[in-house]
């Protein structure tokens, strides 16, 4: 009979002891009197039908505990309360309003994916609804009733995700004086730009959400976390702020979240995270900062001493402070893959005692920091290093040996591949033998300068590590006369040598070879370079010497002539200046003589003259 739109109770008359009825996808439109003879029904599934109205006679089903009316066309609920109903599912219907006062005993209601824009509740605070879980996601709600918390005193799970809330509804309940039981609250996918209602003046009651453990604020419009946003959420254990546009966390934002265990800040726009921004998170065990724009991480706050899992993957971190995890004594897992790290301090893990997982895949390490890894080799259980552009050179011999000795900590799928040299590019580093990557990368470039008939200067550059070689051997042989091989051994720091006592106008083959440190390795280096150079012709050199000497003589003669002319000019100038000075001195002496004579005859009066003048005056 399933599939009939006019289903009657005739086929259920004789099933009076029936407890569970599944009538989903039966194209049922009307259920009037359908279960009138089945008072023992415990569970009814009428989902995916075409029901528009729920009849009032359902209250006769006194044993009914679960009722599924999902995916129908119900526009309103008006039936009398069912005494013992625990679970009511009304997902994907056409509800626009819903009166919670009709369901005093019910424990769980799912009203997801409707068109509800208003919740109705009795104005009387004497009514207490036993509702434990209320799912209202994907509706059109903007506010909750002001007596919502007063009446739903047992509510511990509230989901209003994907509605039209602009803030966390704390101010809606400012008259509430008791402690709410809500432990899990989801406000994901709401157009929240501020956690608190900034348009109303109120002080959030300390009892509101006092027992809240889980708060979901994902996929909102949050960009700033203010210092008082979580001021009274002391019992919060899990806080999810991922998939927002958060770029700023104010100081002391999390100061009161002393019991918080997990915080997810992934998929935001955080660039800078100052030291004090995470203060107060004394119980935090998991911190997820992945998928942000963080460029640099400094020392984490000392309050994070209990942190166990830190995820910094998918950022732009190029530098880690040596004190980066100084205070993270209990760190167990560190994820820093997909960043721009090329170097970390050798002492980075000095104060970490429990690190078991380290993941730094997809970074820019050319040389894996072996000294840093040695500090955690007794505790590490999983090490992931793939997709780093490492240079497979002689400097990596120690790393190769260390990774071979600790192969158990490297997952099978984690393959560290060479980036350089080009002939080893793409090959698995651990699958190579040391003599292959060490000698392959070893390169010597040699040049010959100041070639003379009897000598020449040989110089070279090398990218070999001096600690891996005991020196260089230079060998040379006269090719034209099939002479014997001569040579010498030089120090590892040497970069040039002068070859003497050569034959003029002779072609020589010159080779330089790097010598391995016998005490530390059995490798045979093939890092070498050879070239051919001819000494100058001795006769031609003599001619050139004569020309050179003539050139020198000409230059010297010019210098002598110039010096003589300079001296003559200097003497003439000195003579002229001396003559002029002497003439000037004579003129000054003559003037002085005339001045003295004038003074003696006119300006001075003797005593006798003075007496005469004095008497005449008397």
Q: Does residue 458 lie within any of the structural domains?
A: yes
Q: What is the mean pLDDT of residues 323-347?
A: 93
Res 548 pLDDT > 70: no
Res 1 pLDDT > 60: no
Mean pLDDT rounded to a whole number for the chain: 84
Q: Which of 56, 85, 114 is the last residue of a domain?
A: 85
In Å, how far are 156, 216, 281, 286 from 263, measured between CA atoms? 21, 10, 10, 6
Span of 215-219, 352-356, 498-502 with lowest mean pLDDT: 498-502
Q: Does residue 328 lie within any of the structural domains?
A: no
Res 392 pLDDT > 60: yes
Each residue's pLDDT tens digit, 243-291: 999 999 999 999 999 999 999 999 999 999 998 999 999 999 999 999 9
How far apart are alpha carbons 176 and 62 in whole angstroms?
A: 34
pLDDT for the residue 34:
77
pLDDT for the residue 181:
83
Span of 69-73, 416-420, 529-533 with lowest mean pLDDT: 529-533
Q: Does residue 118 lie within any of the structural domains?
A: no
Whether residues 511 and 554 fall in one domain: no
Q: What is the mean pLDDT of residues 316-342?
A: 93
In Å, how far are 149, 311, 574 from 139, measured between CA atoms? 20, 34, 110
Q: Does residue 47 lie within any of the structural domains?
A: yes
Whether residues 80 and 35 fall in one domain: yes
Are 189 and 164 in contact by the 8 Å Cβ rule? The answer is no
CA-based angle 14:15:21, to the nearest 5? 145
Whether residues 512 and 559 fall in one domain: no
Q: What is the mean pLDDT of residues 313-337?
A: 94
Q: What is the mean pLDDT of residues 400-422?
A: 90
Q: What is the mean pLDDT of residues 422-444?
A: 79
How far apart are alpha carbons 337 and 361 in whole angstroms?
A: 5
Whether residues 452 and 527 fall in one domain: yes
pLDDT for the residue 514:
82
pLDDT for the residue 2:
64
pLDDT for the residue 218:
98
In Å, how far are 298, 331, 334 from 349, measured between CA atoms? 14, 10, 11
Q: Does residue 203 lie within any of the structural domains?
A: no
In Å, how far are 195, 329, 374 from 504, measured between CA atoms? 90, 72, 57
CATH number (domain holding residue 486)? 2.60.40.10
Residue matched to tokens 């600690």: 467
Q: What contacts 413, CB < 8 A, 6 or more positions away?
A: none
Residue matched to tokens 């254990």: 237
- Residue 40, CA atoms < 13 Å, CB-side half-sphere: 8
CA neighbor of 279 nearest in space, from 299, 309, 308: 299
Long-range contacts of 57-61 (CB under 8 A, 24+ apart): 57/32, 57/33, 58/82, 59/83, 60/35, 60/36, 61/35
Are 87 and 66 in contact by the 8 Å Cβ rule? The answer is yes
Span of 54-58, 422-426, 450-454, 466-470 with lowest mean pLDDT: 466-470
pLDDT for the residue 172:
58
Q: What is the mean pLDDT of residues 195-206?
A: 59
Question: Is the previous residue joined to 421 through a cis bond, with omega within 30 degrees of 0?
Answer: yes
Are 3 and 29 in contact by the 8 Å Cβ rule? The answer is no
**The dihedral sign for the CA sequence 228, 229, 233, 234:** negative
- The token duo for 175 is 């008259």
User: How confident is residue 596, by pLDDT bands cut at 50, 70 and 90?
Assistant: low
How far apart are alpha carbons 17 and 37 in whole angstroms?
A: 9
Would strands 43-45 and 20-22 be described as parallel, antiparallel, or unpaired?
parallel
Res 207 pLDDT > 70: no
pLDDT for the residue 597:
59
Whether residues 491 and 564 fall in one domain: no
Residue ranges in 239-327 assigned as alpha helix (H): none
How far apart are alpha carbons 521 and 464 in whole angstroms?
A: 15
CA-based angle 133:177:284, to the nearest 5? 60
Q: Which of 58, 85, 112 is the last residue of a domain?
A: 85
- Strand runs (DSSP E) across 506-597, as ranges? 507-516, 528-534
Q: Does residue 353 lie within any of the structural domains?
A: no
One DSSP character per residue, 185-250 reads EE-TTS--S-SS-TTS-----TTTTTT--EEE--SS---EE-TTTTTT-TT--EEE--SS---EE-
Q: Is 417 helix (H, G, I), strand (E, B) or coil?
A: strand
Helices (H) and strands (E) counted in the chain, each on its own, are: 6, 31
pLDDT for the residue 260:
97
Number of domains into which the chain is organized: 3
Q: Does residue 270 lie within any of the structural domains?
A: no
In Å, how far are 169, 207, 208, 560 from 176, measured between CA atoms? 13, 8, 7, 111
Whether residues 10 and 81 fall in one domain: yes
Please tell me the pTM assigned to this model: 0.71
User: How confident is residue 606, by pLDDT bands cut at 50, 70 and 90?
Assistant: very low
- The token duo for 592 is 């002085």
Structural domain boundaries enclosing 505:
442-536
Q: Which of 196-205, 279-288, 526-535, 551-560 has the highest mean pLDDT?
A: 279-288
Span of 127-136, 198-207, 587-596 with lowest mean pLDDT: 198-207
Would strands 469-478 and 486-490 be described as parallel, antiparallel, or unpaired?
antiparallel
Which conformational region is residue 505 in: left (phi greater than 0), alpha (psi within -120 to 50 degrees), or beta?
Answer: left
Residue 120: strand pairing partners:
99
Q: What is the mean pLDDT of residues 508-522?
A: 70
> Which helix H or strand E contains 150, and what residues bound it?
helix 148-151
How much of the chain, in percent, has pLDDT values that exceed 90?
43
pLDDT for the residue 604:
45
Span of 95-109, 219-233, 556-570 with lowest mean pLDDT: 556-570
Each residue's pLDDT tens digit, 134-174: 999 999 999 998 888 888 889 999 999 999 999 888 655 54
Q: What contacts 165, CB < 8 A, 6 or more positions away?
A: 141, 142, 143, 187, 190, 191, 192
Res 422 pLDDT > 70: yes
Whether residues 547 and 588 fall in one domain: yes
CA neighbor of 393 nearest in space, from 440, 334, 327, 359: 440
How much of the chain, in percent, has pLDDT values that exceed 70?
83
User: How confident is residue 35, by pLDDT bands cut at 50, 70 and 90?
Assistant: confident
pLDDT for the residue 289:
98
Whether residues 512 and 557 fall in one domain: no
Residue ranges in 406-517 assigned as alpha helix (H): 434-441
Q: Which of 162-171, 235-244, 525-534 has the highest mean pLDDT?
A: 235-244
Per the model's pLDDT, the better-predicted residue between 92 and 607 turns out to be 92
Residue 581: strand pairing partners:
none
Span of 156-160, 198-202, 292-296 with lowest mean pLDDT: 198-202
Q: Does residue 123 lie within any of the structural domains?
A: no
pLDDT for the residue 306:
96
How far apart are alpha carbons 186 and 133 in whole angstroms?
A: 12
CATH number (domain holding residue 55)? 3.80.10.10
Are 317 and 340 in contact by the 8 Å Cβ rule? The answer is yes
pLDDT for the residue 550:
55
Whether residues 486 and 447 fall in one domain: yes
Each residue's pLDDT tens digit, 374-391: 999 999 999 999 999 998
Span of 362-366, 506-510, 548-552 with lowest mean pLDDT: 548-552
Q: Which of 491, 506, 536 is the last residue of a domain?
A: 536
């Amino acid at each position: 009979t399933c599939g009939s739109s006019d289903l009657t109770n005739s086929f259920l008359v004789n099933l009076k002891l029936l407890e569970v009825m599944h009538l989903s996808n039966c194209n049922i439109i009307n259920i009037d009197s359908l279960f009138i003879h089945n008072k023992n029904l415990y569970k009814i599934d009428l989902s995916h039908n075409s029901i528009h109205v729920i009849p009032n006679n359902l209250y006769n089903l006194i044993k009914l505990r679960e009722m599924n009316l999902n995916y129908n066309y119900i526009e309103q609920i008006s039936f009398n309360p069912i005494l013992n109903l625990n679970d009511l599912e009304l997902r994907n219907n056409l509800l626009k309003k819903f009166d919670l006062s009709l369901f005093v005993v019910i424990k769980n209601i799912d009203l997801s994916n409707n068109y509800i824009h208003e919740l109705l509740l009795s104005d009387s605070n004497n009514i207490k609804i036993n509702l434990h879980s209320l799912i209202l996601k994907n509706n059109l709600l903007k506010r909750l009733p002001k007596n919502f918390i007063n009446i739903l005193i047992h509510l511990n799970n509230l989901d209003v995700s994907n509605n039209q809330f602009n803030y966390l509804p704390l101010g809606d309940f400012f008259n509430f004086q008791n402690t709410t039981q809500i432990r899990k609250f989801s406000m994901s996918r709401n157009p929240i730009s501020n956690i608190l209602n900034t348009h109303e003046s109120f002080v959030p009651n300390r009892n509101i959400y006092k027992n809240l453990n889980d708060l979901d604020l994902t996929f909102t419009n949050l960009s700033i976390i203010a210092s008082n946003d979580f001021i009274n959420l002391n019992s919060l254990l899990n806080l999810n702020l991922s998939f927002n546009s958060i770029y700023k966390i104010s100081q002391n934002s999390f100061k009161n979240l002393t019991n918080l265990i997990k915080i997810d800040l992934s998929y935001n726009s955080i660039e800078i995270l100052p030291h004090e921004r995470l203060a107060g998170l004394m119980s935090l065990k998991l911190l997820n900062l992945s998928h942000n724009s963080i460029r640099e991480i400094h020392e984490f706050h000392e309050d994070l001493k209990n942190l166990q899992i830190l995820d910094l993957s998918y950022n732009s971190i190029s530098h880690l402070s040596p004190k980066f995890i100084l205070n993270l004594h209990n760190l167990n897992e560190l994820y820093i893959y997909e960043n721009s790290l090329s170097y970390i301090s050798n002492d980075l893990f000095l104060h970490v005692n429990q690190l078991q997982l380290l993941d730094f895949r997809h970074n820019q390490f050319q040389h894996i920091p072996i000294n840093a890894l040695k500090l955690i080799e007794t505790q590490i259980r999983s090490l992931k290093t793939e997709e780093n552009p490492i240079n497979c050179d002689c400097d990596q011999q120690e790393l190769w040996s260390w990774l071979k000795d600790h192969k158990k900590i490297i997952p099978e799928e984690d393959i560290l591949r060479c980036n350089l040299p080009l002939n080893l590019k793409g090959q698995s580093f651990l699958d190579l033998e040391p003599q292959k990557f060490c000698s392959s990368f070893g390169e010597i470039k040699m040049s010959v300068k100041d070639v003379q008939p009897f000598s020449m200067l040989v110089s070279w550059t090398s990218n070999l590590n001096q600690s891996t070689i005991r020196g260089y051997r230079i060998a040379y042989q006269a090719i034209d006369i099939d002479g014997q091989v001569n040579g010498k051994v030089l120090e590892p720091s040497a970069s040039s040598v002068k070859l003497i006592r050569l034959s003029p106008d002779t072609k020589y083959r010159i080779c330089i070879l790097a010598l391995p440190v016998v005490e530390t390795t059995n490798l045979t280096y093939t890092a070498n370079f050879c070239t051919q150079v001819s000494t100058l012709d001795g006769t031609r050199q003599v001619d050139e010497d004569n020309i050179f000497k003539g050139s020198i003589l000409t230059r010297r003669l010019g210098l002598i002539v110039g010096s003589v002319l300079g001296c003559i000019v200097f003497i003439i100038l000195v003579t002229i200046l001396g003559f002029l000075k002497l003439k000037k001195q004579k003129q000054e002496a003559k003037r002085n003589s005339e001045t003295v004579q004038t003074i003696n005859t006119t300006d001075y009066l003797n005593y006798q003259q003075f007496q005469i003048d004095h008497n005449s005056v008397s």
